[in-house]
Structure 1
């Protein structure tokens, strides 16, 4: 079984491709009739789908994993725990699942990158959904301590109300497009026409 494409993707940190690469490799190996169930990198495969936010594929992969593999490989169960927390929108559980397992050298880069990406996605979610939020809730969503979450928010332009223990979210400035009305467009056309003739 040639996993060089997968190893190259892991080495180059092309984590968004891992789920698809594993799916394709699994189909290729299965078409040869070779038994691969015990040797398959299920945890990396699951984490690849989790990283790509493809929870349906992760869920179907989990269902197809033999029970013997689930019982003998703790990392596979730990990877699925992240998927379960995502499925249930258990934000704190996702971060706890990431930190709560001693990941293999093959998986640690992928899990770390997912954790960082997930915190950034949640930060953007907070920016779009709230105008103020408690420090405790911010820390829960970002998977940080309250001090770290406060510091992170302040670095991104939020303001801190120490008496209420609330953060005021700074919305990004939106650039609005200037719309031309038809009379201005007509004037411009006439002016250019006059210059050319």
Structure 2
């Protein structure tokens, strides 16, 4: 079984490509009837979590042979992270990830996942709140209150130290799209054709 493409993606930190890559390679391996005992299930499962594709992660988990689940504690630890994601246990994602000692092969990937997850949570907080207390940001971001405050302030939020309240700075919507005349013409022709 040739896993060089997976190892290359891990080395290049191309984590967003790993989910589809692993899916395709596993299908190829399975279609040839080859044994999948050596399949990098931990990488594959984490790849789906990285993409926030919880349904694919759950499906993969259900297809992993029980003896593989029992024999690979790293795979089980990744599944615990997946369960935290599924249950929206924001702090649990970070706690679970930090409780396990990851192998050198996957440690950078886990760190990349946590960084991506933290950015995604921060974007959700930005879109959902206009003000939020520091303790809540700390909880959602899996950081100490001081680190969460520093992270938020570095990303343009402001702190009221007296109330320990952060004011969210909303991202400005991009509205300066230019309309290409040829695209407008094609659209007009298409609508005209559909109406007549």
The alignment's TM-score, normalised by the length of structure 1, stands at 0.85
Once the two structures are superposed, what CA deviation does each residue of 1:12-59 show, in whole Å capped at 9, x if it has no partner?
1111111111111111111111222x2111100100111111111100
Corresponding residue for residue 159 of structure 1:
158
Q: How does 1:68-107 map to 2 (within 5 A)?
A: 68-107=67-106
Q: How far has the Cα of 1:176 moved from its partner? A: 5.0
Instruction: Give structure 1 stretches of 5+ with no counterpart.
Output: 179-197
Number of the residue aligned with 1:26: 26
Looking at structure 2, the residues matched to 170 and 105 of structure 1 have their Cα atoms a distance apart, in angstroms, of: 38
Aligned to 1:52: 51
Alignment partner, residue 11 of structure 2: 11
Higher mean alpha-carbon deviation, 48-57 vs 153-162, is at 153-162
Which runs of structure 2 are paired with 1:116-195 in the superposition (5 Å)?
116-174=115-173
Aligned length: 177
Which residue of structure 1 aligns with residue 180 of structure 2?
none
- Segments of structure 2 that go 5 or more residues without pairing to the other structure are 178-196
- 1:7/1:171 CA distance change after superposition, 3 Å: same
2:188 alignment partner in structure 1: none
Cα distance, 1:149 vs structure 2: 0.5
If the length of structure 2 is used for normalisation, what is the TM-score? 0.85
Rate the CA distance shift 1:132–1:74 in 2: closer, same or farther, 3 A: same
**Backbone CA RMSD of aligned residues:** 1.5
Q: Which has the larger radius of gyration?
A: 1
Structure 2 equivalent of residue 188 of structure 1? none
Partner SS, residue 84 of structure 2: helix
